[in-house]
Amino acid sequence: MNKTLAELAALVNGTVIGDASIVISGIASLTDARSGDITFFTNPRYRRLLSSTQASAVIAAERISDTDLPLIIAPDPYRAYAIIARLCFEKPFCPLGISPQAVIAESAVIGAEPSISPLVFIGEDTVIGDRVVIHPGVIIGAQVRIGNDVILHSNVVLQERSILGDRVILHPGVVIGGDGFGYARDHQGASIKIPQVGIVQIDDDVEIGANSTVDRAALGKTWIKRGAKIDNLVMVAHNVVIGEDTVVVAQSGIAGSTEIGNRVILAAKAGIAGHLHIGDRATVTATGGVHKDVPAGSVVSGRPAIPHRDWLKSKILCSRLPEMHTELKQLKEAVARLEERLEHNKNGKEES
């Protein structure tokens, strides 16, 4: 990348303060940036690094007094960083073809410009779109459908009949379409396995992190909609629906048949019980445990999760429990003294 600061500012709808003609060739953190790089200032925690950075320019939300470097002022500097970084690190598309050491069923159909690595398995009747990149160790079952421009990283497993849209990215070790966890109990308390014969459907622009698992539906489909982003080690149970542009952070789990709306955020280690509905744009904060429906737009916390505001209040009051306990004790004593005094007065009066 070789662009002037003016050109980069235009790309991100920002404005330049300082010399807009300097040429930027890279992007790096405040610590790692060298001369020629642009850097970004998004977290006040790192303010002290501004004075020592070797960068040639800084993206920031507003004028900053801690540096004399040329600035791009952008309303959302993190977004500006994302846009410039994509430009900077974009690689030319370069298909590798189909390795002779991949094992591909005769009936599978592979689209144009494929990159299929060695040690890949592709099952019967599977159909794969154009420009799909399949890294080594990926196992794709029978009758799977994969769209265009999909990237499957190493050791991903797609079980039979899974459906992937365009531009889906699955990181290493992701498992799509394992059996849902469904049993009935017999009279002796043993588990009777319920056949899990549904599928998983993953729509366009979904990305799923390493070693996460999405189970196939018992009947029907488990469905992850367009633009949803799922982090590592997340569990999505059978028949779950995850809405568009929803974000699910690492180690969260969603139980069976729950429907998550659009643009929801499930922060790290959140747990959602089964058969619930989480409304659009709701947020479950980290480690929240949700046991009932969450209305659209609300923020819930705790286990069981309650409105975030109530949870904060309750946390503050919990921290005041020792104080409350002491006050209660003091009150008991004060009341006892009062009772004694009244008793004494009465007796005094009676005696007088």
Residues 290-329 that bind its own copies (CB under 8 A): 291, 303-304, 306, 310, 313-315, 317-322, 324-325, 327-328
**Pattern 258-277, its own copies, x by CB under 8 A:** -----x----xx-x-x-x--
**Sole binder of its own copies in the list 237, 282, 284, 300 (CB under 8 A):** 237
Q: Which of residues 143-182 bind its own copies (CB under 8 A)?
A: 153-155, 157, 159, 169, 171-173, 175, 178-179, 181-182
Instruction: Could you list the beta-strand ranges (E) of 5-96.
Output: 15-17, 23-24, 26-27, 37-40, 57-60, 71-73
331 binds its own copies (CB under 8 A): yes
Q: Contacts with its own copies: how many residues (CB under 8 A)?
A: 115
**C-alpha of 152 from chain center:** 18
**Residue 301 β-bridge partners:** 306
210 binds its own copies (CB under 8 A): yes
- Binding part of the chain for its own copies, among 3-11, 49-57, 64-72, 332-340 by CB under 8 A, reads 332-340
Question: Which H or E element spans position 97?
Answer: strand 97-98
CB of 171 to its own copies, least distance (A): 4
Concerning whether 238 is annotated as a catalytic residue, the answer is yes
Q: Name the DSSP letter for residue 213.
A: E
Report the candidate in 235, 193, 195 with the shortest Cα–Cα distance to residue 213: 235
213 binds its own copies (CB under 8 A): yes
The C-alpha atoms of residue 173 and residue 64 are separated, in whole angstroms, by: 43
117 binds its own copies (CB under 8 A): yes
Q: Which of residues 19-78 bind its own copies (CB under 8 A)?
A: 27-29, 31-32, 43, 45, 76, 78
The C-alpha atoms of residue 209 and residue 229 are separated, in whole angstroms, by: 8
Q: Which residue is catalytic, options 135, 238, 275, 344?
A: 238
186, 209 in Cβ contact below 8 A? no
| Radius of gyration of the chain measured on its C-alpha atoms | 29
Q: Which CB, 112 or 292, lies closer to its own copies?
A: 292
Q: Which CB, 18 or 136, lies closer to its own copies?
A: 136
Residues 6+ apart with CB under 8 A from 177: 141, 157, 158, 159, 160, 161, 162, 199, 200, 214, 215, 216
- Binding part of the chain for its own copies, among 3-11, 52-60, 113-121, 125-133 by CB under 8 A, reads 113-121
**Sole binder of its own copies in the list 49, 135, 152, 261 (CB under 8 A):** 135
101 binds its own copies (CB under 8 A): yes
93 binds its own copies (CB under 8 A): no
- Binding part of the chain for its own copies, among 14-22, 49-57, 63-71, 194-202 by CB under 8 A, reads 194-202
- In this structure, the number of other CB atoms found within 10 A of the CB of residue 254 comes to 28
209 binds its own copies (CB under 8 A): yes
Q: Which CB, 17 or 157, lies closer to its own copies?
A: 157
Q: Which CB, 113 or 245, lies closer to its own copies?
A: 245
Widest Cα–Cα separation across the chain: 114
DSSP 305-344: TEEHHHHHHHHHHHHTHHHHHHHHHHHHHHHHHHHHHHHH
CB of 19 to its own copies, least distance (A): 24
Q: Where are the alpha helices (H) located in the chain, listed in sequence order? A: 5-11, 77-89, 308-319, 321-351
94 binds its own copies (CB under 8 A): no
235 binds its own copies (CB under 8 A): yes
Q: Which CB, 147 or 198, lies closer to its own copies?
A: 198
**Residue 224 β-bridge partners:** 202, 242
CB of 244 to its own copies, least distance (A): 8
The C-alpha atoms of residue 268 and residue 116 are separated, in whole angstroms, by: 34
Question: Which H or E element spans position 266?
Answer: strand 265-266
215 binds its own copies (CB under 8 A): yes
Q: Which residues have a catalytic role annotated?
A: 238
